[in-house]
A = this chain, B = another copy of it.
Amino acid sequence: MLGVTILGNNSAVPAFDRHPTSQVLTMPNRKFLIDCGEGTQIQLIRYKIRRSRISHIFISHLHGDHYFGLVGLLNSFALLGRQQALHVVAPPALQDVLELQFRLADTRMPYPLHFHAIQAPGYLMTVDEVEISCFKTDHRIECFGFVFKEKKKPRRINPEAVKNYQVHYSWFENLQEGRDYEAPDGRIIRNDILTLEAPKGKTYAFCADTKYDESFIPAIQGADMIYHETTYLENFKDQAVKRFHATTTQAATLAKKANVKKLLVGHFSSRYDELDAFETETREIFPNTDLALEGVCYRMP
């Protein structure tokens, strides 16, 4: 898991050249698109992100600023002659929206489109050794956050040690899986002498739209990076509660309590032209916070 590129960081109404929610999680071999507000396909072009590398699209909930760009993107894939499968993971009713619109336009899909309806919080799927699960957030309509967790990677061969013990390379895969080495002369060499600790798999959590909600802390606990909405600055916390959104202070507090490494904040209300105060207010509580700025790729820490 390499990083997250922000395509849209604004709340519902586009303003100040900020766009509705969408971001791209980049893996070595593919990309995941998370939410797909109106204009996402245009943002993908603008930031030169290869659309064909997107294999999965995750939609958190059915407020339009999180999915109105989806049908257009799927349609463009069809017109561009895409052939490889595409997976959409979303609340069940989205399938009705897509099918109705495809039927009315007499759309012929040249690629397999697999719709995965989210039935309940918990495990969703594993893709390229990344385990994906979802959790409920506290929003006006049913809304899911997503956790992308790289499994522990294989141990690394210690090049000096295998040379010293004259281990044949045909043994390397066994060593990476943690087995001890049995030398031709019968000696047993412990695995931890011949290998180095596996690089830790990274975890990214996307907390979607939500009120301040400690109930999902267990799902994101210790993540390397999370994205949490900050629709409002702290002085609008009453408005935030009323609209099922969160403030700067709330997002930072949650990141701190969940003991994550890094926090990205976005979904800024259209009432704010300047965003500096979002940085100041969050960093007071959780210093390793960045504003999710459009077009910027935030690498996993």
Which A positions have Cβ atoms within 8 angstroms of B? 12-15, 19, 38-39, 41-42, 45, 62-65, 68-69, 71-72, 75-76, 79-80, 93-94, 96-97, 100-101, 104-106, 140-141
Q: Is the CB of A63 within 8 A of B105?
A: yes
Instruction: Give the complex CA separation of A15 and B41 in angstroms.
Output: 10
Residues of B within 8 A of A68 (CB): 38, 68, 71-72, 75
Q: Can you list 10 A-B contacts with CB-CB less than 8 angstroms, sorted by A residue number? A: A14-B41, A14-B42, A14-B45, A38-B42, A38-B72, A62-B105, A64-B71, A64-B101, A97-B104, A105-B141
Residues of B within 8 A of A19 (CB): 42
Q: Is the CB of B76 within 8 A of A12?
A: yes
Identify the closest chain B residue to A37 (Cβ): B72
Residues of B within 8 A of A94 (CB): 104
Residues of B within 8 A of A96 (CB): 100
Residues of B within 8 A of A72 (CB): 38, 64-65, 68
> CB < 8 Å: which of B15, B39, B64, B65 contacts A39?
B39
Instruction: Give the complex CA separation of A100 and B42 in angstroms.
Output: 25
Residues of B within 8 A of A13 (CB): 76, 79-80
Identify the closest chain B residue to A66 (Cβ): B105
CB distance from A270 to the nearest CB of B (A): 8
Beyond known contacts A13-B79, A68-B68: 6 more, CB 8 A cutoff: A13-B80, A38-B41, A62-B105, A65-B72, A97-B100, A106-B140
> CB < 8 Å: which of B64, B76, B101, B141 contacts A97?
B101
